[in-house]
Amino acid sequence: MNKADVRHILDTIGEMFPDAACELNHENAFELTIAVLLSAQCTDATVNKVTADLFKKYKTPLDYVSVPIEELEQDIRRIGLYRNKAKHIHNLCRILIDQYGGEVPREHDRLTQLPGVGRKTANVVVSNAFGEPAIAVDTHVERVSKRLGLAGWKDSVLEVEKKLMKRVPKEEWTLTHHRLIFFGRYHCKAQNPKCQVCPLLDVCREGKKRMKHAQPRKDREDKASDN
């Protein structure tokens, strides 16, 4: 893929989703960290429903470690894997208190050492809370990147991230991350992508294949209706 194709993709998704931004409700770096941790294998909409009450009850790391873990489990039980996530939150908050004065560290490598915080979560936090350029590869970003040819079909999540970082101008990393998510969440969906009306069909490997397979079906349906 050449630079012109990449620019075409970036400009097109920019026109489609100019206001794309993090959809997890939060007011600070700590709340964002908790919200992203909770969002693993869970929709942002569900997380926002849970954190609406959670963030009223728990304001600081000390608040979380001051209650039995069973109580926290009940507070987030609508979230998938809630027991493991409650454990991660407890341990994470204890580390923040003991090692960072109750504050979320700004450094990416320190963030990834916190319980329940992987590379994707750290990228979301540094980019949205601290303004550091980063591309977090979630399921939407991975799917869209591979369909559009920005990454290879067999690339790992880390390989997808590295290729995006290489092809996308650094100053556009964070915005591109959000726009790719919106594009994948609302347009290029996993099961029913809107290929028929997609302005990126010309560069989409998946879309071309789907449209090619769809045409014979349409021809058969048209022929049947004529009969």
Residues designated catalytic: 120, 138
Q: What is the largest CA-CA distance in the chain?
A: 77
Taking the alpha carbons of 27, 28, 29, 30 in that order, is the dihedral positive or negative? negative
Measured CA angle at 66 (ends 60, 68), to 5 deg:
125
> Could you tell me if 146 and 180 are in contact, meaning their C-beta atoms sit under 8 angstroms apart?
no
In this structure, which amino acid lies at residue 2?
A: N
Q: Where are the alpha helices (DSSP H) in the chain?
A: 3-16, 29-38, 44-57, 61-65, 69-75, 82-100, 108-111, 119-128, 139-147, 157-167, 173-186, 205-226
What is d(CA 189, CA 212) in angstroms, rounded to the nearest whole number?
A: 18
CA dihedral 147, 33, 69, 65 (to 10 degrees): 170
SS3 156: coil
In this structure, which amino acid lies at residue 17?
A: F
Q: Which tokens in the block code for residue 211? A: 């449209």
Taking the alpha carbons of 69, 73, 51, 117 in that order, is the dihedral positive or negative? positive
